[in-house]
Structure 1
Amino acid sequence: MPHAITLSDEVFSRLQAHAIPLVDTIESVIIRILDAYSDSKPEIHTDGFKAFDPSLPPNLGHTTVLSASVAGAVLKPADTFWNNIIVVLIKEMAKRGMTPAAIDASITSNSVVGEKKGNGYKFIKEAGVSVQGLDANNAWKTINFLANVTGIPVDVKFRWQNKEGVEMPGVIGAFSTGRTMEKAA
């Protein structure tokens, strides 16, 4: 028997952050979240970080990227930001022969073929596309989607800031696409 529920804008936005565009319904997202909550708790590693399912991330608001690698190449500490990981991943897609149109079609966030200025867009010359900056949650959603579509491995370690109201203050988390965390660590 179907039940109608009312969600606040904030809760609906959080559900959207876990949805696959044009695929998921609200119910399918809720089912996936409940299954993940019931079936898998974050794996805690001996060096103190929690490995999270990259497809079911916790709220990444107020996180700082500690380290990242794309296709095995470690980003410089000065380049470890959520949006920069997207840029490096898109450059790798171009390096592997994807056309600007194919790259643009793969990106689930705002992007255009060619150079676009303003509104937070960054032109990635090597790929011939411009992408709009994202918050941490949407940036990871885009990174994970692109990594899964292209098979390009991405590994990220991050820490929540010690602020009231964040998901896990001070906790270090990690995502890895394309292989197990033991191999990525």
Structure 2
Amino acid sequence: MMPSIEISQELFKRIQRHAIPLVDTAETAIARAFDALEKGPTTPSKPKIDDARVFDGEAPPDLTFATLLAANLDGKEIKNPYWNTLMDEAIRLGFKAYGSLKELRQHCPGNYADGQKDDGGYHYMPDLGISVQGRDANAVWRATSQLCKQLGISVAVEFRWAHKEHIKYPGETGQMAI
């Protein structure tokens, strides 16, 4: 269960002033504020969607330290996108198309378990009756894009890297699609 917090209406309005419309949730706006705070006293600029770097989905950049901002799968927006929720939605489509966990495994390699398994990084998908092990952003993109290509559906993502010195695009926004 995710922890929940209550905030005042005034603070919520402040968060909204700094959020990217149709992209940010309160959590991603707060995370960006903490990224800026941890980076130091420089004045952060709000990333613009139009300024995003466009990458080839077939040859993605390293997504380590990249936070998913927006995702669209088969023409449908993923609400509150995270890398693993994107993969879960692709798995749902794959499970529906292939009809069984055995078939899904052949088209989307990964660690799955029949029934509920909550340890070792697994989370339960009650609507499918299976558990899926979480993956890092790079593994999610590989699995999701591979499955989407096989299903003949589109996937598009927008993401932002953290402000870290050792990554290639610190603080920048990127987009890619299949």
Q: TM-score range by the shorter chain?
A: 0.5 to 0.7
**What displacement does 1:54 show?**
1.2
Please, what TM-score do these two structures have when normalized by structure 1? 0.64
CA contact (8 A) 1:94 1:126 kept: no
CA contact (8 A) 1:123 1:131 kept: yes
Could you tell me which residue of structure 2 aligns to residue 122 of structure 1? 123
Q: Does 1:51 align with 2:66?
A: no
Q: Does 1:110 align with 2:111?
A: yes
List alignment gaps of at least 5 residues for structure 2: 1-48
* Whole-angstrom distance in 1 between the partners of 2:98 and 2:108: 16
Could you tell me which residue of structure 1 aligns to residue 72 of structure 2? 69
Paired residues, what number? Answer: 130
* Whole-angstrom distance in 2 between the partners of 1:97 and 1:140: 20
**What displacement does 1:97 show?**
5.5
Could you tell me which residue of structure 1 aligns to residue 63 of structure 2? 60
* Whole-angstrom distance in 2 between the partners of 1:89 and 1:125: 15
Could you tell me which residue of structure 2 aligns to residue 147 of structure 1? 148
CA contact (8 A) 2:98 2:104 kept: no
Could you tell me which residue of structure 1 aligns to residue 163 of structure 2? 162
SS at match of 2:113: strand
* Whole-angstrom distance in 1 between the partners of 2:63 and 2:134: 15
CA RMSD of aligned residues (A): 1.8
* Whole-angstrom distance in 2 between the partners of 1:83 and 1:139: 7
List alignment gaps of at least 5 residues for structure 1: 1-45, 178-185
Identity %: 32
Query: What does the per-residue CA deviation read over 1:47-69, in whole Å, with 9 as the maximum and x for residues that have no partner?
Result: 11122111211111111111001
